[in-house]
């Protein structure tokens, strides 16, 4: 009951102050993206969004954020958060606001994906905070943010900002090592397929690689030390899936890109796939308790993936697939009790807290074993 009463309620000012702070910080980041697009925006994403619509959205968000901050203060909400938000909105205005001129530029080889961070956090964050607030929750006492949200948010930011490096490395990996396997005739057949068939095919191709690599992360000891970072949250919510050692998204993206590269999917199929996995990866980690009926046998759901993150004995090393349970069914690693959810989450053996401790965690064990073997 104590936990329930600590959740923000309408009329207390806490919601307004918190939203003002979030909108303010995101507004500064968005204005910087408009001012310095060459270094702070993602070329693959930039071609798909309407800049003028985003400017209008930013202008509306800044006005709403300012009003929320003022209302939060008037209602007695946290003044620190409201002050941070209002100060950030003022800084965003000084930097040029939503209609700051965007210069002509040449695209550098390496860049930060700040635009991807802003758009993903703004839209998915807003959507899933609302969904976890409205719909039945796996853990009803847990609010829109879990106890570990600060660490998860730090991982969310770092891994989004590094997307430029991830894309450069993964693209070179596919081109440099697998260009010899390209079949123009096969790619022509793939492009000629109906759009819905191409979409299903890209999901299956990507998930086949996801399943094999994910299973390796669990069954190869050193790889598990890397992947254990992702399993360390003891509370599941929309943000907890962001907790990934930087090596994991780098390696996984490089491997998943190989079949996509070889099959030659057109840009519209790849974009649809990226939108799908962006939403699904957040959904399956969320605290939303949903019954999807027979679809549980077709797509990966929150219940399916929660069992993968469970530390209950029955759930260890189960449910590796990212998009469809098909490969777990084939690999005999499928586990989905009909009406039950896990009791406990997290790793069986604790791992260090904090980003730095978790960053070095995969390397500490092998070094200790080497030193002990040398001294024995």
Whole-angstrom Cα Rg for the chain: 22
**Which candidate, 237, 217, 220, 219, places its Cα nearest to that of 229?**
217
Contacts 24+ apart (CB under 8 A), 69-73: 69/16, 69/17, 69/20, 69/21, 69/24, 71/13, 71/16, 72/13, 72/14, 72/15, 72/16, 72/17, 72/18, 72/19, 72/20, 73/13, 73/17
* Domain locations along the chain: 7-111, 164-366
- pLDDT confidence of residue 374: 44
Token pair belonging to 35:
């001012």
Token pair belonging to 355:
């980003």
Token pair belonging to 138:
């796996």
The C-alpha atoms of residue 39 and residue 144 are separated, in whole angstroms, by 33
- In angstroms, the Cα distances linking 60 to 26, 54, 72, 99, 100 are 13, 10, 18, 12, 15
Of the pLDDT bands very low, low, confident and very high (cuts 50, 70, 90), residue 3 is very low
- pLDDT confidence of residue 124: 85
CB 331 within 8 A of CB 319: no
130: CB partners within 8 A, 6+ apart: none
- pLDDT confidence of residue 284: 94
For residue range 277-327, what is the model confidence (pLDDT) as tens digits? 989 999 999 998 888 889 999 999 999 999 999 999 898 999 999 999 999
Token pair belonging to 192:
């000629």
Of the pLDDT bands very low, low, confident and very high (cuts 50, 70, 90), residue 132 is confident
Mean pLDDT on 194-209: 97
For residue 364, pLDDT over 90 is answered with no
Residue 287 CB-density burial (10 A; 0-12 exposed, 13-18 middle, 19+ buried): buried
Model pTM score: 0.84
Mean pLDDT on 23-35: 93
The C-alpha atoms of residue 170 and residue 164 are separated, in whole angstroms, by 10
Cβ count within 10 A of residue 133: 14
- pLDDT confidence of residue 217: 96
- pLDDT confidence of residue 375: 47
Q: pLDDT higher for 130 or 373?
A: 130
Average pLDDT taken over every residue of the chain: 87
């Amino acid at each position: 009951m104590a936990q329930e009463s600590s959740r923000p309620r309408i009329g207390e000012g806490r919601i307004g102050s918190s939203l003002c702070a979030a909108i303010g910080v995101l507004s500064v980041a968005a204005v910087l993206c408009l001012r310095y697009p060459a270094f702070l925006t993602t070329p693959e994403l930039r071609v798909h969004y309407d800049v003028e619509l985003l400017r209008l959205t930013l202008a509306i968000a800044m006005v709403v954020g300012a009003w929320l901050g003022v209302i939060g203060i008037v209602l007695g909400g946290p003044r620190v958060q409201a002050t941070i938000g209002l100060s950030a909105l003022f800084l965003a205005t000084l930097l040029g606001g939503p209609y700051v001129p965007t210069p002509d530029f040449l695209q550098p080889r390496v860049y930060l994906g700040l635009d991807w961070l802003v758009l993903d956090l703004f839209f998915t964050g807003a959507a899933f905070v609302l969904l976890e607030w409205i719909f039945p929750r796996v853990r009803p006492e847990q609010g829109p943010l879990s106890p570990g949200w600060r660490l998860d948010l730090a991982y969310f930011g770092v891994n989004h900002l590094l997307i430029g490096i991830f894309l450069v490395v993964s693209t070179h990996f596919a081109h440099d090592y697998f260009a010899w396997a390209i079949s123009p005739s096969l790619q022509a057949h793939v492009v000629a397929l109906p759009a819905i068939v191409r979409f299903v095919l890209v999901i299956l191709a990507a998930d086949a690689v996801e399943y094999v690599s994910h299973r390796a992360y669990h069954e190869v000891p050193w790889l598990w030390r890397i992947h254990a970072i992702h399993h360390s949250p003891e509370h599941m919510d929309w943000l907890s899936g962001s907790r990934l050692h930087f090596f994991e998204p780098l390696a996984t993206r490089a491997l998943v890109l190989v079949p996509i590269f070889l099959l030659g999917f057109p840009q519209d199929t790849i974009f649809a796939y990226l939108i799908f996995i962006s939403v699904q990866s957040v959904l399956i980690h969320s605290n939303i308790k949903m019954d999807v009926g027979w679809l549980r046998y077709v797509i990966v759901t929150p219940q399916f993936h929660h069992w993968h993150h469970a530390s209950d004995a029955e759930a260890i090393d189960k449910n590796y697939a990212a998009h469809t349970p098909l490969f777990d069914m084939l690999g005999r690693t499928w586990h989905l009790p009909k009406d039950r959810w896990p009791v406990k989450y997290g790793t069986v053996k604790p791992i260090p807290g904090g980003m730095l401790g978790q960053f070095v965690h995969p390397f500490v064990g092998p070094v200790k074993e080497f030193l002990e073997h040398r001294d024995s």
